[in-house]
Structure 1
Amino acid sequence: MPTQVSAKHHPHDDAPDTAEAFRRLAALPPGEERDVLRGKIVEAWLPMADRLAGRFRNRGESPEDLRQVAALGLVKAVDRYDPERANAFESYAVPTITGEIKRHFRDHMWTLHVPRRVQDLRNRVRFAGQELSQTISGRRPTVAEIAEHAGMSEEDVLVGLEALESFTALSLDAEMPGSEDGYSLGDALGAPDPALDTVVDRESVRSRLAALPERERAILYMRFFGDMTQSRIAEQLGISQMHVSRLISRCCGRVREQVLRDAA
C-alpha cells in the first residue's frame, strides 16, 4: 500500500510531517510508484516554498516567476535530501530554496554582468541599511554607520551603494532629471568623431607631402586647405589653369603611389 503524506504539521503550518514518506521514497526503485510519492511530497511542501518566495517580493521580479523558481528549488531539495542523516527536511530545504531564488536574481535579473563580489557587497549594504533604518529615524544611514554595522570597509560600502543603483540599465531615451524640454540621456552622449577615420591617412601622407617641391606643396595647400579654385591658383602663380590641374593630378598620384608602396 503506498505511503501517504501525513496531515500532521510542525509549528509552521506549511511544514507537513513527511519523515515516513521520505524513508519510503529512499527505499523505492525508480518507477511510477516512486514518481507519484515524490510528487505528493513536493505538493505537500509547496506552501513553504511559496512563503519563502514571498520574502523576495518587490524586487523587480513577478510573484509567479518567484514561486516557480522556489518550486524548482524545492524539487532539488526533495531529490537531494537524505533522511538517514536524521536532519529535518525543512532545515535542508529552506537554504536550498532560498539559494535557488538568490541565484535566479544573480543570473537573470541584472541587466549588465556584475561581478559576484559586487553583487554580494550590494546585498550586505542593502541588508545593513534596512536594519539601521529601524533604529535611525529622519535620515539615511551614513557610509561609516553601514560599514561599522556590516563589518565592511567604507570603500566596499561605496561599491555596494553604487551597485544598488545599477540593478537595471537606464534607457538612452529616458529624460534627464530636471529636464523640461525632453533632453534625454542619449542627447548627453558624444558621437564618434568622423575625423578619426582620416588620422591614419593624414599621418601616412605627412612625410610624403613634406618631400614635395615648394611650389607643388603650395598648390596643394591652396587647393585643399585654402579651398581655392584652380583658376584662382593659376592667376596667383602666373601659370595656366591646365598646368595647375596637371600639377595637382601628378602630385596626388605620386603621393598615393608612395604611400601604398610604403604600406606594402
Structure 2
Amino acid sequence: MPAIKNTEFDLDKKALANRFGSRAESYEAATPVQKVMGQCLLDRIRSEQPNGGVREILEVGCGTGRLTRALKALFPSANITAIDISQEMIDHAKKQVPGPAYLVIDAEEYLQSLNRQFDLIVSNATVQWFVHLDKAIGRMCSALAPGGFLALGTFAERTFCELADAFNCAYQKNQLAVQNHVVPMKSVDYLRQTLPEAELVERDILAHFADVRTFLQSIKDAGAVNSQAGQRPIPRTVLRDMPHYYEALYKKPGSREIQATYHACFLFYRRPPG
C-alpha cells in the first residue's frame, strides 16, 4: 500500500472546544446535514446488527447527544461511553440523554490511551477535526472486539467548495495572495487509505440558504469555523466582494437561494471474529 500523504494541520484544540461549547444550545437547529449523516449511520448499524448483540458502545464526539439518544433507543441494554472535547456539549447531552458514561476529553488523546474493547464504535461529523486521523482510525480498529463494527461519518474535500471558490475570486479581484478560510478536509483517497479494508460511501448533500450571510451564520451557529492556529484576518475588501461572487456563481436555478455542498463520507468496517 502506498504511504498515506501527510495532510495534518495545526489545529487549536482549545479554541475548537470553546467554539463548539459556545454553540451547544444552537447546534442541533444549525446542523440538519449532520442529522442526515447520523441517520445514514444508524440505518447501516441497524442493518448490521438486526438482532442486537451489542454490549459496549463508544461514541466519539457525542456533541449534544442527538446520535447518543438514538443509539440508546436502538440498544437499550448496551453500555454507552460518549466522549466530547467540549464540557458544554457534554452537559447538554447529559440533560437530554441520561444514562451513558460521559467523558470530556480530546478524542485523539482518549484513543491513544484506550485499553478497552467495544462491540460498536460510532462517530459522526467529528473526525474531520483530528490532527492525526490515520493513527486515530487505527486505534479505533484496535479497540473493536472481535466481530465488532466501526461506523464513521465525516466531511471530505468538496465540502464548502462554493465558499472556497468565492473567496478565491475575491482575492484575485483585489490582487491579493489567496488565503484559505475554509476548514481543510481530507481527500477521499486519504480516507480510503487510512483503512483499505473498510467500505467507503460518498454522498454530496446540497443545502440551500436565503443568502451568503445566512449560510455563514449557520456555520457559526454550528461552531464549525476554522480553528487552524495562526489564521489571519480576512481583508475587508475580500469580505465585501466574496458574497457577490458566491451568489453569481452558485445561486440556485430559478431561485434567489444559494447552495452549499456538504461532501459526506462514511467508513464502515467489521473486525474479523476470533
TM over 0.5: no
Q: Is the radius of gyration larger for structure 1 or structure 2?
A: 1
Does 1 or 2 have the higher relative contact order (CA < 8 Å, sep 6+)?
A: 2
TM-score, normalised by the number of residues in structure 1: 0.22
